[in-house]
Amino acid sequence: MTTHQRFVTLTAACVLALLQPGCLEVETTTRVNEDGSFERTIEITGDSSALARGGYPLALRGQWEKKLERNEKGKFRLKAIGQFGDVDGLNEAIRGEPARSLQFRAALERRFLWFTTTFRYEETLAVFYPFDAVPVTEFVSPGEIDLFLHHELEEEPYPTPGDSLALDDASERFNAWELRNRLEAFYQELIKGAERAGDPALTAERLMASKEEFYRTVPGQKDPDTAEALADYAAQLFGEAPVRRAMEANREGFDEYDRRLKFLETVATTGLKMSVEMPGLITDTNGPSIEGSRVSWSDFKAYCYVRDYTMWVESRVINWWAIVLTGVVLLALVALFAVSAVRRRPRVATA
């Protein structure tokens, strides 16, 4: 397995899910209008009619025109179109909720320069990893993350072989961070359950004192690690009955843990492509694909496992009305100057 694969693979369950029916493909197109309004089109294609019930990791708040159909390959496609008068309305519709849907935020800057108007549109996809008990920087340095993003996702060559070897080591620590984070989230719910159950056989104090021992009990691999699976490991240390009583006392907490894990798997198996159509001529962007006034991004989702990713594009519109108006004014000034010059010219006396 390559460094890229080790670093980007979210969980073993996600990899398996990629091979199974049910994966989704999401494509969004945001059209930025000159007046600052927006039209956003979202097409979600998948193998399940669950699309009709919202079985996708996107928030579609407010008023959307939706249409669900089945294509010639038997897949379902949900097409949603929303109209928004300003960027605030767009943000309200797409902002999402942590660990429940992908979170987007948009920004638009317009600068009127008389002959031209410049536009800068930004859209940020926030980190979607739903477990945040342990910061990734406790295992992997920001510099190592930058190294991965620059050389693996952006496919830039390594300056030296040592950089590649360093990333190999960082990827192992990244995997350790991911496992530790999920175990910590489970363990905190187990402590809450023990406190609620009030079972002297399994107290919160005992759990806190045995945390590291529990971590060593769980194999160092990227299994799905559902609450039930991890409870089996906890039962090896603390006994079956006390662990089950703690889980029943905090059932909603463990259900939430499993829901977050399911959300992670859903995001991992969802293809995401985003496009922006700008007014006028595109002058700069960090998008890898430009076709006319359209910029597209794909294969960027891995960035958002550990940090936010911002897509941006700038364009310029020529204000022809301003050019015409300026020309008319200049011609008027020239004409006025000519008339004034003629009037000021002294008349020649006639005999």
- How is residue 26 written in tokens? 């999401």
Q: Is the pLDDT of residue 224 over 70?
A: no
The owner of tokens 């991890």 is 230
Model confidence band, residue 248 (pLDDT cutoffs 50, 70, 90): very high
* CB-based contact 61:92 (threshold 8 Å): yes
pTM: 0.82
**pLDDT of the residue at 222:** 55
Model confidence band, residue 246 (pLDDT cutoffs 50, 70, 90): very high
Q: How far, CA to CA in Å, does 108 sit from each of 39, 125, 237, 274, 311?
A: 14, 15, 55, 16, 12
> What distance in Å separates the CA atoms of residue 205 and residue 299, rounded to the nearest whole number?
45
- Phi-psi category of 292—alpha, beta or left, where left has phi over 0 and alpha has psi -120 to 50? left
* CB-based contact 130:99 (threshold 8 Å): yes
9: in domain: yes
The owner of tokens 């920004």 is 107
- How is residue 174 written in tokens? 């990244």
312: in domain: yes
Q: Is the pLDDT of residue 84 over 60?
A: yes
* CB-based contact 218:262 (threshold 8 Å): no
- How is residue 92 written in tokens? 């309200």
3-state secondary structure of 83: strand
271: in domain: yes
**pLDDT of the residue at 21:** 42
**In angstroms, how far is the first alpha carbon of the chain from the final one?**
108
208: in domain: no
Model confidence band, residue 152 (pLDDT cutoffs 50, 70, 90): low
339: in domain: no
Share of the chain above pLDDT 90, in %: 51
Total domains in the chain come to: 1
The owner of tokens 């011609």 is 331
> Residue 66: which domain range?
3-130+267-320
The mean per-residue pLDDT over the stretch 70-75 comes to 77
Per-residue pLDDT of 309-345, as tens digits, reads 999 999 999 988 888 998 999 888 888 888 887 777 6
